[in-house]
Structure 1
Amino acid sequence: MSITLPGPTLGVVGGGQLGRMLAEAAAPLGVDIVVLDPTPDCPAAPVARDQIVADFDDADGIFELADRVDALTFEIELADPDVLAAAAAEHDVPVHPDPDTLETIQDKLVQAEALADAGIPEPEFVATATSEGLERVVEEFGGVMLKARTGGYDGRGNVPVADPSEAADALAEVGGDAMAERFVEFERELAVMGVKGANGETRTYPVTETVHREEILRESVTPAPAGDDVLERAESVANDVLDVLDGRGVYGIELFETADGDVLVNEIAPRPHNSGHWTIEGARTSQFENHVRAVLGWPLGPTDLVANAVTANLLGDVDETGPATLRGVDSVLAAPDADIHWYGKADVRPLRKMGHLTVTGSSGSGDDPGDARDALLSRARTLRDETTFRDETTLRDE
Structure 2
Amino acid sequence: MTTLRTPGPTIGVVGGGQLGRMLAEAAAPLGVEVVVLDPTPDCPAALVARDQIVADFDDEAGIRDLAERADILTFEIELADQNVMDRISEETGTPVHPKPSTLETIHDKLVQKRELEDAGVPVPPFRKVDDADDIRAAIDDYGAPVMLKARTGGYDGRGNVPVESKADAEDALESVAGPAMVESFVDFEREVSVIAVKGDDEVATFPLGENVHEDEILRETIVPARSSEAVTERAYDVARDVLEVMDGRGVYGIELFEATDGEILLNEIAPRPHNSGHWTIEGTQTSQFEQHIRAVLGWPLGSTALRSPTVMTNLLGDVEEEGLAQLGDIDEILETPGASLHWYGKHQARPLRKMGHVTVTADGDDDSVDDLLETARDLKAAVTFQS
TM-score tier by shorter-chain length is over 0.9
Q: Which residue of 2 aligns with 1:11?
A: 12
Determine the C-alpha separation between the residues in 1 that align with 2:384 and 2:104: 38
Q: Look up the SS of the partner of 2:211 in the other structure.
A: strand
Q: Deviations over 1:306-351 (max 9, x none)?
A: 1111000000111111110111111111112100111000010100
TM-score by length of 2: 0.98
- Greater mean deviation of Cα atoms: 29-38 or 332-341: 332-341
Tell whether the 8 Å contact from 1:33 to 1:49 is kept in structure 2 after alignment: yes
Q: Deviations over 1:1-45 (max 9, x none)?
A: 221110000000000000000000000000000000000000000
Paired residue type of 2:355: M
Q: Deviations over 1:244-303 (max 9, x none)?
A: 111000000000000000000000000000000000000000000000000001000011
Determine the C-alpha separation between the residues in 2 that align with 1:87 and 1:9: 17
Over the aligned positions, Cα root-mean-square deviation in angstroms equals: 1.0
Paired residue type of 2:108: D
Determine the C-alpha separation between the residues in 2 that align with 1:109 and 1:88: 26
Q: Which residue of 2 aligns with 1:136?
A: 137
Shift of the alpha carbon at 1:390?
4.2
Paired residue type of 1:197: G
Q: Which residue of 2 aligns with 1:384?
A: 380
Q: Tell me the percent identity.
A: 62
Q: Which residue of 1 aligns with 2:296?
A: 295
Determine the C-alpha separation between the residues in 2 that align with 1:226 and 1:335: 28
1:373 matched to 2:369? The reply is yes
Tell whether the 8 Å contact from 2:9 to 2:33 is kept in structure 1 after alignment: yes
Paired residue type of 1:173: S
Matches within 5 A, 1:34-183: 34-143=35-144, 144-183=146-185
Q: Look up the SS of the partner of 2:45 in the other structure.
A: coil
Determine the C-alpha separation between the residues in 2 that align with 1:120 and 1:140: 21
Q: Which residue of 2 aligns with 1:394?
A: none
Tell whether the 8 Å contact from 2:337 to 2:363 is kept in structure 1 after alignment: no
Matches within 5 A, 1:199-210: 199=201, 201-210=202-211
Shift of the alpha carbon at 1:362?
6.0
Tell whether the 8 Å contact from 1:308 to 1:362 is kept in structure 2 after alignment: no
Determine the C-alpha separation between the residues in 1 that align with 2:225 and 2:364: 13
Q: Deviations over 1:38-74 (max 9, x none)?
A: 0000000000000000000111100110000000000
Determine the C-alpha separation between the residues in 1 that align with 2:110 and 2:364: 41
Determine the C-alpha separation between the residues in 2 that align with 1:221 and 1:132: 39
Change (3 A) 1:203 1:362: farther
Q: Look up the SS of the partner of 1:168 in the other structure.
A: helix
Shift of the alpha carbon at 1:90?
1.4
Paired residue type of 2:313: A
Paired residue type of 2:9: P
1:236 matched to 2:205? The reply is no
Q: Which residue of 2 aligns with 1:395?
A: none
Which ranges of structure 2 fall in alignment gaps of 5 or more residues?
Answer: none
Shift of the alpha carbon at 1:139?
2.0
Paired residue type of 1:223: P
Q: Deviations over 1:72-122 (max 9, x none)?
A: 000000001111111111111111001000110011000000110001101
Q: Which residue of 2 aligns with 1:307?
A: 308
Paired residue type of 1:161: V
Q: Look up the SS of the partner of 1:272 in the other structure.
A: coil
Q: Look up the SS of the partner of 2:156 in the other structure.
A: coil
Determine the C-alpha separation between the residues in 1 that align with 2:193 and 2:70: 32
Determine the C-alpha separation between the residues in 1 that align with 2:191 and 2:134: 29
Which ranges of structure 1 fall in alignment gaps of 5 or more residues?
Answer: 392-398
Question: Which 4+ runs in 1 deviate beyond 2 A?
Answer: none
Q: Deviations over 1:339-389 (max 9, x none)?
A: 01110000101000000010001672xx5xxx7110000001100110111
Determine the C-alpha separation between the residues in 1 that align with 2:155 and 2:240: 23
Shift of the alpha carbon at 1:154?
2.5
Determine the C-alpha separation between the residues in 2 that align with 1:162 and 1:123: 17
Tell whether the 8 Å contact from 2:325 to 2:386 is kept in structure 1 after alignment: no
Paired residue type of 2:379: L
Determine the C-alpha separation between the residues in 2 that align with 1:135 and 1:209: 32
Tell whether the 8 Å contact from 1:342 to 1:355 is kept in structure 2 after alignment: yes
Determine the C-alpha separation between the residues in 1 that align with 2:324 and 2:155: 23
Determine the C-alpha separation between the residues in 2 that align with 1:132 and 1:145: 15
Determine the C-alpha separation between the residues in 2 that align with 1:156 and 1:291: 24
Q: Look up the SS of the partner of 2:193 in the other structure.
A: strand
Q: Look up the SS of the partner of 2:173 in the other structure.
A: helix
Q: Which residue of 2 aligns with 1:219?
A: 220
Q: Look up the SS of the partner of 1:300 in the other structure.
A: coil
Tell whether the 8 Å contact from 2:338 to 2:363 is kept in structure 1 after alignment: no
Q: Which residue of 2 aligns with 1:281?
A: 282
Determine the C-alpha separation between the residues in 2 that align with 1:219 and 1:240: 26
Tell whether the 8 Å contact from 1:14 to 1:75 is kept in structure 2 after alignment: yes
In the comparison of the two structures, how many residue pairs are matched?
A: 385
Determine the C-alpha separation between the residues in 2 that align with 1:131 and 1:273: 32
Q: Look up the SS of the partner of 2:212 in the other structure.
A: strand
Paired residue type of 2:143: G
Q: Look up the SS of the partner of 1:195 in the other structure.
A: strand
Determine the C-alpha separation between the residues in 2 that align with 1:91 and 1:221: 43
Paired residue type of 1:155: G
Q: Which residue of 1 aligns with 2:22?
A: 21
